[in-house]
Structure 1
Amino acid sequence: MPRSRANRHFVPRQRDAALFSGPTGWVEGIGLAGLALARCLGLYLRILIGKARLDLPAFAASLRQAGLSILPAITLVSLVVGLILGHQSQSILGQLDLPELILASGAYLVVMEVIPILVGILVAGRAGVALAVRQASLAVSGEIDGLLINGVDPIRLTLGPVLLAMLLMSFAFTVWGSLVTLGATGLWLWGMAGLSPASLLDAFGRALAPGDLVEALLKPLLFSLLVAVIATVNGTAAGRDPEGIGQAATRTMIGAVAAILVADLLIVLLFRE
């Protein structure tokens, strides 16, 4: 394969010096993140118009990694959050006879903030870290150069199936987590506080407008994009040092959690009155 074809795929060459270091390192990292995201979106567009094919085995493996392995955790945590919300609401209802206000506030907080952030962090801890480790392993072993010589884009190879799986599973987990949490809260208040299912559904309906539900479903997708590009940048920056694999995993988790919280704060400040 001619080297000119390999050079059309921009991936930082693995050198002795640390990648994305120095005063301009963060600019290089942002540039790689934007390039990686653009390549994935281009790949998905080519798949939709029939000019490319998705790596189905890799996509299925990514779904298992980002889906089935996290499902028990998201279910358990959502159930516990729902029961805690139900118990605390029952305690407040014993002092204040404002069930609709209390339930509306609790439901809004859980659906709009707790569940999206929880899903984002769990996806970062499982799929994001795994993506960073895989990309770092390619960098440490020198396989990136081999892929480039053969005309294979390492970023598209690793990120394409994983990002799509993360987006799909984040959406599904947000819906599932919200239903489990609100269901557990409703069952607790129905059984322990005597609130009727009709009043519970009415309170939940008043708490969440259609626009709120759209935002709650879109936020985890944004978080997944942030996690994916952070994992890609950290994995690529591992260089040839074997210790870089562990560092990539650690930096991905810390960076992803920080990015999720900052992004959520910006959404609250900029898009809510």
Structure 2
Amino acid sequence: MFIRKRHAFLRPDREPAPPLSGLNGWIEQLGLAFLALASCLGLYARILVGRSRLDLPAFAIALRQAGLSILPAMTLVAGAVGIILGRQAQSFLAQFDLPGLVLLSVSYGIVVEVVPILVGILVAGRAGVALAVRQATLAASGEMDGLLVNGIDPIRFTLGPVLLAMLLMSFAFTVWGSLVTFGAAGIWLWAMSGLPPVLFLDALERALSSGDLVEALLKPVLFAVLIALIATVHGTAAGRDPQGIAQAATRTMIGAVSAILLADLAVVLLVGD
């Protein structure tokens, strides 16, 4: 009887709770995100002063995941969005003789709202999910413990190159996506409504101030930071259960898209006229 009770005590029916869960889970997740960001910023500072080196192979892989692999999809989707917006603008132009007003709204919407959100979602679906899966795999396989034993910060090891690549490619994709989307919309309106390209370019110049351009370029950078931190939190919280890898990928995508939309809303409310 004593032996049975002892075995029942050593093997309880309840499994231990996964990391970063429970009542204090949100606080722990925010703390981990803050520590991860601080660790990466410290790494970048040491690289700038020559006291550390960037993992170039990992950085190249991250650039491919966050850049080259997304480029065809980004171009295709940006072109499709441009045609859709051009088609909607064409319908307004056919009903109202207000080409300048319509073009002003379309130009602002493309550059400041549509393209940054589009870039953020694509980066989250490719680079963010890949980062979460990698960190969850390290946690499930026990390799994260091996990195700690060897004196290597696992978060800095995985997040450092990826975050830098996501920041660079998000900025570049915003510029490229705006050009493709705006070009597709302009070509559609030129071909279908006979709208001169000069009028379209003039509307773009009048619609966007220097502050709007800065906002359009900084939004994807903010989104990239949020995506990387969300992926790190969910990847680290996967624990030793292999099923946690799939859960980390799903939660990262859902959390990243939600964070992108909420962050965009916050920027609109804070800096909007």
1:72 matched residue in structure 2:
72
2:152 matched residue in structure 1:
152
| Cα shift readout 1:139-176 (whole Å, capped 9, x = no counterpart) | 00111111111111100000000000000000011100
1:34 matched residue in structure 2:
34
Instruction: Give the aligned residue type for 1:210.
Output: S
The reply to whether residue 98 of structure 1 matches residue 106 of structure 2 is no
2:10 matched residue in structure 1:
none
CA distance in 1, matches of 2:195, 2:78: 21
| Cα shift readout 1:186-243 (whole Å, capped 9, x = no counterpart) | 1112222112222111011111111101100000000000000000010000111110
User: Which aligned pairs between 1:114-193 and structure 2 lie closer than 5 A?
Assistant: 114-193=114-193
Q: CA deviation at 1:120?
A: 0.4
| Cα shift readout 1:37-65 (whole Å, capped 9, x = no counterpart) | 00001101111111110000000000001
Secondary structure (helix, strand or coil) at the match of 1:151 reads coil
CA distance in 2, matches of 1:95, 1:244: 54
Instruction: Give the aligned residue type for 2:122.
Output: L
1:240 matched residue in structure 2:
240
The reply to whether residue 204 of structure 1 matches residue 204 of structure 2 is yes
CA distance in 1, matches of 2:62, 2:16: 31
Unaligned runs of 5+ in 1: 1-14
Q: CA deviation at 1:17?
A: 3.0
| Cα shift readout 1:58-97 (whole Å, capped 9, x = no counterpart) | 0000000111111111101110111111122122111211
2:9 matched residue in structure 1:
none
CA distance in 1, matches of 2:218, 2:41: 17
1:218 matched residue in structure 2:
218
Identity among equivalent pairs (%): 73
Instruction: Give the aligned residue type for 1:260.
Output: I
Instruction: Give the aligned residue type for 1:83.
Output: I
CA distance in 1, matches of 2:109, 2:59: 33
Q: CA deviation at 1:16?
A: 4.3
Secondary structure (helix, strand or coil) at the match of 1:94 reads helix
CA distance in 2, matches of 1:17, 1:80: 45
Q: CA deviation at 1:272?
A: 0.8
Instruction: Give the aligned residue type for 1:141.
Output: S
Secondary structure (helix, strand or coil) at the match of 2:240 reads coil
Instruction: Give the aligned residue type for 1:87.
Output: R
1:9 matched residue in structure 2:
none
Moved over 3 A (4+): none
- The number of residues matched between the two structures is 259
The reply to whether residue 86 of structure 1 matches residue 86 of structure 2 is yes
1:12 matched residue in structure 2:
none
Q: Is the 8 A contact 1:16 1:240 kept in 2?
A: no
Instruction: Give the aligned residue type for 2:90.
Output: Q
Q: CA RMSD in A?
A: 1.1
Q: Is the 8 A contact 1:16 1:239 kept in 2?
A: no
Q: Is the 8 A contact 1:167 1:224 kept in 2?
A: yes
CA distance in 2, matches of 1:218, 1:242: 36
Question: What is the TM-score of this pair, normalised by structure 2?
Answer: 0.93
Instruction: Give the aligned residue type for 1:241.
Output: D
Instruction: Give the aligned residue type for 1:109.
Output: G
Q: Is the 8 A contact 1:70 1:123 kept in 2?
A: yes
1:272 matched residue in structure 2:
272
